[in-house]
Amino acid sequence: MKKTALTLLAATVTVCALAASAYAAEDVPAENNTGKEVTAYGKPGAFGIAASGFTIAVDDPAQYFGLTAEDFSIKNAAITDTSWSDDFKVTDVSFKEGLVILDVEPFLLSCSRADFMFWNVNKEPDENGLCFDFAPGDLEITCAKNEELNFTYSDITEFHTDIIDDFTDEESNGTPYKLFTPADTGEALPVVVWNHGGGCSEYGRQIIDDPFAASFASAHTQKYFPCYVIAPFYNAKAVAEDSGDRANIVAAIQELIDAGKVDPDRVYVCGQSYGFITSFTYLYENPGFFTAMVALNGGPTLNEDGSILEDDPMWGAAYNHDALQMIADNGTAVMLVQGIGDPLSTPDKFEAVYNELKSLNVPDPKLVWHSYTAEQFDYLQDCGFSEDSGIPAVDPITGAETYVSDLFHNSNRPGAYDTYIKTWLFVQHK
């Protein structure tokens, strides 16, 4: 099973590699007493940032000529946030002025911190039942022929990832956000706003640990659908609170529109879990401003009869009849993306929203139910980590059958590699 997981992790990073940016400063190990300068390079995948290689700063690379990949070994490399392996290999050794360069089979350097406590069985959950302290084990890379090239995770002084470096740090009236700016095409382009889930507690994690936002900035997506990407940071579960953050982000978008950079007829908002609530709230507070929404694994509190609890003190305003009527009247396109076996945001929550919008005569092209079985989850992520729990789950709209798993709350992961979502989103136009 572990060997299979290794193979599949490699496939995930190789086949589904996206573009991304540098790690946040807090990701750099706090102490490095060895004096070594080691830089890690990675690629974002479905479960976090996976290593692609390392450079070791040296005075004279020539003294290491003749070393091969077989002279190096890797120990305690992370497969997931609770499993490690000694089976990963260095695949190539090369040299450049002042550097020894190692290419490696991909293993995790950073992992999503927004997963269920069920995933993090070796860690203590916080008061919200979430675990944020993923560490890539006691990673150790050694050279059998020259111990001067040995290093551990704590020796890494700098991290870089494809794409994340392409995002810039911005703020709007005090609200921080990551911004991806596309190549200049000479015309106004769409903008995609990504609202992170409730477990994102550090600025930068909204794109480092979440492949969905980064996928819009990938070279492949930008080739066919050039767009701006805005990924605000709301600080963990404060995403639904009215702190002025949403108004500040709308102001940032308006600035891009006024500058002729963003097409006001193609303003899109997306969100996962708590970010789904935030996305719906954006629509409610800014009628007609957003063209379309992709909402992943969320939903309101329900009454016993399955109807929406409209006076819910946390997020009832986003889903009450008036809010949904406004969405229908404004012609906003809505795609609801659901992991059928999600035990947290269960499908009946999205079903209630879908049926309410349908009753308000939102036409099928503008209202889409899009769900994933376990097999579809694994196919899109190109991984095999989900195992049949034996607890059945049924799609309330399509009747598709699958099983319950804690993994299926994070539809943003397979959604990042689901071309249907992007091809649907970018044809939406006011």
pLDDT > 60? residue 92: yes
Token couple for 34: 């060895």
Range with lowest mean pLDDT among 30-39, 110-119, 330-339: 110-119
| CATH of region 166-425, choose from 3.40.50.1820, 3.20.20.70, 3.40.50.1220, 3.40.50.150 | 3.40.50.1820
Whose tokens are 């399955």? That residue is: 306
- Render the burial of 208-228: b for 16+ CB within 10 Å, e for the rest: bbbbbbbbbbbeebbeebbbb
So what's the pLDDT on residue 11?
33
pLDDT tens sequence across 331-344: 999 999 999 999 98
Percent over 90 (pLDDT), the chain: 52
Give the DSSP per-residue string, 150-218.
Answer: -EEGGGEEEEEETBGGGEEEEEETTEEEEEE-PPP-SS-EEEEEEE--TT--STTHHHHS-HHHHHHTS
Tell me if 407 sits within 8 A of 385, measured CB to CB. yes
Calculate the average pLDDT of the chain: 82
Beta strands in 236-324 (DSSP E): 262-272, 292-296
Q: Which residues contact 308 (CB under 8 A, 6 or more apart)?
A: 300, 301, 302, 316, 319, 320, 352, 353, 356
CA nearest neighbour of 376 among 361, 367, 390, 386: 386
Token couple for 218: 């990938």
Report residue 138's pLDDT band, with 50, 70 and 90 as the boundaries: confident
Q: Where are the alpha helices (DSSP H) in 297-373?
A: 316-319, 321-330, 347-359
Percent over 70 (pLDDT), the chain: 79
pLDDT > 80? residue 239: no
Verdict on whether the full-model pTM lies above 0.75: yes
pLDDT tens sequence across 347-365: 999 999 999 999 999 988 8
Mean pLDDT of 7-13: 35
Inter-CA distances, 9 with 53, 130, 224, Å = 15, 24, 27
Token couple for 244: 């002025």
Domain residue spans in the chain? 2-161, 166-425
Report residue 164's pLDDT band, with 50, 70 and 90 as the boundaries: confident
